[in-house]
Structure 1
Amino acid sequence: MNIFQQLFGGGPSADLAGIIKEGAFIVDVRTPGEFGSGHAKGSVNIPLDQLPLHLSKFKDHKNIIVCCQSGGRSGQAKVILEKNGIANVINGGSWNNVAQYC
């Protein structure tokens, strides 16, 4: 996968439906205001700028899906998490994309 796909989604997509069904940890990295206006069922709001403060919340999850408005911030979140040793992170792209499987 090239860097553009990694950051912004697109290209070969993971089986989001199956991963969500297995109990993935879904994290919406938009602002609280954006999250309040709509979000995927079961998702948790951890804004991108606060992600480094909440790394412990990611440690014991088999699969993690990050999402945002368009896929850009969730791509950044994926990079931050992976740089901090957290594996199995999927950029789900937009929260609407993720929500269709919840």
Structure 2
Amino acid sequence: MDIEKIILENQGTIVDVRSYGEFQGGNVAGSINIPLNEIPERIKELKALNAPLVLCCASGGRSGQAQHFLSQYGIECYNGGSWLNVNYYKSKSI
């Protein structure tokens, strides 16, 4: 699946896995913040979100870890990389 297409067509949910402080410093409009270290205890919440999930962070490292972890639970998700890239795609859909 093409991540840019998912974002442009407002499919799924954008999940930012950075810390709360990082998220407060800037984020993608409409995204939700679930820090990487909270993902294991919030699996039920993540499964209830509109899929596919587009995961983002500062550079793509943490979102890559989250994608690997969540895919083991059968959650359709993609590593969107940097939140700035995801934000750029999102801005094109407005």
Aligned to 1:17: 4
Aligned-pair identity in percent equals 47
Separation of aligned partners in 2, 1:47 and 1:22: 22
Q: RMSD value over aligned CA atoms?
A: 1.4
1:57 and 2:66 aligned: no
Q: TM-score normalized by structure 2?
A: 0.84
CA contact (8 A) 2:27 2:83 kept: yes
| 1:84 corresponds to which of 67, 73, 77 | 73
| 1:37 corresponds to which of 25, 47, 51 | 25
Question: Which aligned runs of 4 or more in structure 1 are off by greater than 3 angstroms?
Answer: none
Aligned to 1:8: none
Unmatched tracts of structure 1, length 5 or more: 1-13
Unmatched tracts of structure 2, length 5 or more: none
The number of residues matched between the two structures is 88
Shift of the 85–16 alpha-carbon distance from structure 1 to 2, 3 Å rule, reads closer
